[in-house]
Amino acid sequence: MKQKTKRHTDPALAQARREQVLAAAADCFRRKGYHGAGMAEISKTAGMSAGHIYNYFTNKEAIIESIIERDMEEMFSIFQEFEDMPGDLVTILLDGLDHAVERHTDIDQGALNLEMLAEAARNNKVASLLHATDVLARERMRQLLVGERGPLKDIADDELTGRIDVMFAMIGGLLLRKMLNPDLDQQAVLKALRPTMKTLLLPFA
């Protein structure tokens, strides 16, 4: 429901317009929040009239939904990268922490993510999308960890579940840290993060 089914004669143009809107909306949501940003402001940022946006999105909600879906796809590509990398998985994941910290301490993206989470608390569609995304992310992670190359092939299922949630909490929590502590020292965080993640990636003693 997040994209108008309306046919456009020039699909490339339509896609370009859609992306214009998504970029503008993401920007506005970051700065003003979902409710704080009006369609007027979004349209001005997107460089098109407010009315025209409705040729590409059924309503404001559909815009944030599309943004979420876009993010979802991006997340999958990250998992794919991990899966495609050769070598020891623990090493790969620990090395990946640098990027993860980078990504989760981008204050603009963080603000946007918070908006989406806050919106999820009162908008079922948004909540469903986020839940679905999370289910898939956990599943991908699980398969990574118990797969052929996985370091946790032998642990109990619910222990694995707990570990994954704690990993995600830790990484996702960085976003909150950056909001609450803008001076967050990434290098210091990484130094503490690596041994901690290692604990989670290997069987407990």
Partner DNA sequence: GATGAATGAGAGTTCATTCAT
Partner DNA sequence: GATGAATGAACTCTCATTCAT
| Residues that bind a copy of itself in the complex, under the rule CB under 8 A | 30-33, 35-36, 111, 114-115, 117-122, 130-131, 133-135, 138, 158-159, 161-163, 165-166, 168-177, 179-182, 184-185, 187-193, 195-196, 199-200, 204-205
> Which of 19/95 has CB closer to a copy of itself?
95
Q: Which of 3, 55, 109, 186 binds DNA (CB under 7 A)?
A: 55
Residue 60 interacting partner from a copy of itself, DNA, none (CB closer than 5 to 8 Å by kind): DNA
d(C-alpha 202, C-alpha 178), whole Å: 28
d(C-alpha 142, C-alpha 81), whole Å: 15
**Which parts of 56-115 interact with DNA (CB under 7 A)?**
58-61
From 45-53, 67-75, 104-112, 172-180, span contacting DNA (CB under 7 A):
45-53
d(C-alpha 153, C-alpha 147), whole Å: 7
Four-CA torsion 73, 99, 196, 131, nearest 10 degrees: -20
Residues 6+ apart with CB under 8 A from 32: 41
Residue 35 CB, shortest distance to DNA, in Å, is 7
By CB under 7 A, is residue 51 in contact with DNA?
Answer: yes
Residue 84 CB, shortest distance to a copy of itself, in Å, is 25
Q: Which residues bind DNA (CB under 7 A)?
A: 6, 8-10, 13-14, 17, 35, 37-41, 48-52, 54-55, 58-61
